[in-house]
Amino acid sequence: MSLRGFFSNRTLLLTVLIGIALNVLLAAVPFLASAFALAPLSPVQWLAVALCSVSIVPLGELYKCAERAVMRGRGLPKLSKRVRKKAA
């Protein structure tokens, strides 16, 4: 897995960071938490949230790998070098 183009979409990264910040604010600021009826999280719960959030990345990569294997198994044409480069 290559991280070469991972940070190239700055708009997406900014949107994700804003979403994370808003979620943390909702959970951590007492006024906002009570307005949305949220309970405070313990450090262990925050760790569980982080691990679950990050787990989607390797699962997505496994899915793409399996999908490519199925495509090749059906005798479909292999991906061009350009497409393979983008997928890596």
Is 47 within a domain? no
Nearest to 40 by CA among 55, 50, 58, 28: 28
- C-beta separation of 39 from 33 below 8 A: yes
Is 48 within a domain? no
**Domain ranges, residue 6:** 1-42
pLDDT tens across 34-76, in order? 899 988 788 999 899 889 888 888 888 888 888 888 877 765 5
Instruction: Judge if 30 and 65 occupy the same domain.
Output: no
Is 50 within a domain? no
pLDDT tens across 12-26, in order? 889 989 998 998 888
pTM: predicted TM-score of the whole model, two decimal places: 0.49
Is 34 within a domain? yes
* Concatenated DSSP letters of 8-66: --HHHHHHHHHHHHHHHHHHHSHHHHHHTTPPPPPHHHHHHHHHHHHTHHHHHHHHHHH
Instruction: Judge if 1 and 31 occupy the same domain.
Output: yes
Number of domains in the chain: 2
Is 19 within a domain? yes
Instruction: Judge if 34 and 71 occupy the same domain.
Output: no
